[in-house]
Amino acid sequence: MQKTFVVGPFQCNCRLVACPNTLSIEYLIHTHGHLDHIGGTRGLVEAAKADRKSVPKIALHRDDHPLYLALKTQGQLFGMSFSDPLPVDLFLQDEEELKIGDLRLSVIHTPGHSPGSVCFRLHEDSSTGVVETLFSGDTLFNGSVGRTDLWGASQEQMFRSIRSRILVLDGDTALCPGHGPDSSIGIEKKTNPFLK
């Protein structure tokens, strides 16, 4: 099961991925450490604690840990106020596999938009009806690509990540970006003007 919530002033896609056989919250996984993707983390963890439910592990790639720790500073640059972020529980590794109940989610390190940007590949599972899906964060969008004018970004590195780590996936793979509408890898290969 997958559900999308569009949240915050930057209209960030927050994705809930749940195994139909298990319902406990395991992880709050972050594609990168920019404020629009991490600003609600503390509130979600505190809400889980208040409900006496299992507390999800905060997961992030280590290369974006400095950005994560600088949440308050990031907010000030946009006229927004945040509390200090909670500690990261799990530093994600490239090609690491996370289990969400019976579902498998692989980490793909795709630096460029930020040093620790990652995508998450949800592997197809016919027994649960899950289709092959890539959660691309702010690396690849429907008809566009991520910004490279922010902290630690590199346009050259981002395009290298897109070509060598994302476009090699099957064209039928659903593409679920961090902002805007969904697409597929095949559609982006054919129509994304930034990939010509």
Contacts of 182 (CB under 8 A, 6+ apart): 142, 174, 175, 176
| pLDDT tens per residue across all 196 residues of the chain | 788 889 988 999 999 898 888 777 789 999 999 999 999 999 999 988 887 767 899 999 999 999 999 999 999 999 999 999 999 999 999 999 999 888 999 999 999 999 999 999 999 998 888 999 999 999 999 999 999 998 899 999 999 999 999 999 999 999 999 999 999 999 999 999 999 8
Q: Helices then strands (H, E): number in the chain?
A: 6, 13
The residues spanned by each domain of the chain are 2-195
Instruction: Tally Cβ neighbours within 10 Å of residue 93.
Output: 12
CATH architecture assigned to 2-195: 4-Layer Sandwich (3.60)
- Using the 8-state DSSP alphabet, how is residue 38 labeled? H
Report the candidate in 183, 174, 189, 188 with the shortest Cα–Cα distance to residue 131: 174
Strand partners, 20: none
Specify whether the CB–CB gap between 117 and 138 falls below 8 A.
yes
pTM over 0.85: yes
Using CB atoms within 10 Å of the CB of residue 124, give its burial: 0 to 12 exposed, 13 to 18 middle, 19+ buried.
middle
How far, in Å, CA of 22 to CA of 14, rounded?
20
- Torsion, Cα of 100, 66, 139, 9 (10° steps): 90
